[in-house]
Structure 1
Amino acid sequence: MARFNYSYRSGEFAAAMAGNQDPIAFAGTAAITEAGNVAKTAGRRNIAAAGFSVRWQNALRLNIYPKGRTSIDAAALIFHKIPYAGVFEDNTLISGKPTLWLPLPTAPKRAGRQKMTPALYVRTIGPLVSIERPGKPPLLAGKIAINRRSKPGEDGRHKVTLSALRRGGKGAPSTLVPLFIGVDRVSIRDKLSIREIVQSAAGQLGALYFKNLRAN
């Protein structure tokens, strides 16, 4: 998600009103703050409606500049703390270099605070085995430890746990379990409308400015 800057500048009008700058600065800063909060609230609702977690919703932030004081040059910055959030703003095609490895449901979600990737798996858990499938996407499989007491489920698969994967990666008797699937590219459809929401909020600046100017 891109960052968006909106600033209200009174220009020549402010210069002509130099003797009355405090009310103008107050109104301008108040208008920017109100519009920014409208955008942030509506944006977080939009993120929630798209099915994203509370963490993703709260990662949409608002900063008002200059901080801690009023100014006729006040500006609002709406941004998302997750760097790649912008891919959900437009239809985005992500290509592998040459292969994009996507985690399967069997793959551990994280290693510490980092999201699991093949490189991170090898570094923190154990080796991965490449499985080529003619006419189908390739797989990367991990070694899961088994023993005489561990029996496969009704689907013929052993229960995948992080501890079993670590033991298998360290040389214990093991079997393979697919963890990642390789694709050439993946298409991510647009789910968010943050740009439109910010633009709509910015369109209210004039009315908000005069409202706060009259109230001062």
Structure 2
Amino acid sequence: MAGGLKVKVSDPSDAWVKAMKDKYKPIARAATAAMTQVANNIKAEGRANIIAAGFSKKWANAFRVNVYPKGQVSANAAALVYHKIPYADAFETGAMIQGSPFLWLPLPDAPKGRGNRRISAGEYRKEIGHPLYSIKRPSGKAPLLGAVIRATNARFQKGISKAQLKRGRNPHGKGVERLVPLYIGVPKVEISQKFHLRSITAANAAKLAAYYYRNFLDE
């Protein structure tokens, strides 16, 4: 309106800014609490899923869910879901892994490491301290890698222990030297789906709104 009163409002007072921030806080707290609940659920259910698939506690604990921003409340709270082992996704989606030229898979006599997992052929030399030897087989048969141990017939029938493998040829021990197959070479391996971490994440993300309203009403 021409000639009418014109008022310009700028530089709001500290009281006004504080009032707006105070109105924002319940929303931020509810959003952060909801995201934290979802994150905790995903982490707990995901780790249980990994254990149920036969993997070690180390594999389970490598599944992480972090809420951001850390140490703060925010209406824009978010969660990052990830696994620290880079190739873990192969067990989520399934995969075909090819060797170069072979993948060496552990046989029942291969020694076990942490988490009751049989160690790989690559880990063998480091943990056991002795070399692996190629075992000749008829044409068309999968190649084998084995270790030389010394054992009596009676001891050999009980199975191969990690201690025996570490003693190796053991020239002063009892029994005879034996070449024991520990790994079999295959050109490729198809890994089926073992984890269901994506579906666990999606199912819990769908609960986010319900958690938010519940926490907001509790404010």
Q: Do the structures match in fold with TM over 0.5?
A: yes
Contact 2:67–2:80 (8 Å) recurs in 1:
yes
Structure 1's unaligned 5+ residue stretches are 1-16
Residue in structure 2 matched with residue 137 of structure 1 by the alignment? 142
- Residue identity over aligned pairs, in percent, reads 44
Residue in structure 1 matched with residue 183 of structure 2 by the alignment? 180
Report whether the alignment pairs 1:88 with 2:91. yes
Q: Structure 1 CA distance, aligned partners of 2:88 and 2:107?
A: 21
Q: Structure 1 CA distance, aligned partners of 2:131 and 2:63?
A: 37
Q: Structure 2 CA distance, aligned partners of 1:170 and 1:151?
A: 15
Q: Structure 1 CA distance, aligned partners of 2:72 and 2:142?
A: 57
Residue in structure 1 matched with residue 12 of structure 2 by the alignment? none
Report whether the alignment pairs 1:168 with 2:173. no
Residue in structure 2 matched with residue 98 of structure 1 by the alignment? 101
Residue in structure 2 matched with residue 214 of structure 1 by the alignment? 217
Secondary structure class of the residue paired with 1:107? coil
| Cα RMSD for the two superposed structures | 2.8
Contact 2:42–2:204 (8 Å) recurs in 1:
yes
Deviation of 1:102 after TM superposition, in Å, equals 0.8
Q: Structure 2 CA distance, aligned partners of 1:205 and 1:40?
A: 15
Normalised to the residue count of structure 1, the TM-score between the two structures is: 0.76
Code of the residue aligned with 1:206 in structure 2: it is A
Secondary structure class of the residue paired with 2:168? helix
Indicate the larger mover: 71-80 or 46-55. Answer: 46-55
Contact 1:129–1:141 (8 Å) recurs in 2:
yes
Structure 1's 213 and 128: CA in aligned 2 closer, same or farther, altered over 3 A?
same
Residue in structure 1 matched with residue 153 of structure 2 by the alignment? 151
Structure 1's 203 and 180: CA in aligned 2 closer, same or farther, altered over 3 A?
same
Residue in structure 1 matched with residue 3 of structure 2 by the alignment? none
Between structure 1 and structure 2, the one with the greater Rg is 2
Normalised to the residue count of structure 2, the TM-score between the two structures is: 0.75
Code of the residue aligned with 2:131 in structure 1: it is P
Deviation of 1:110 after TM superposition, in Å, equals 2.8
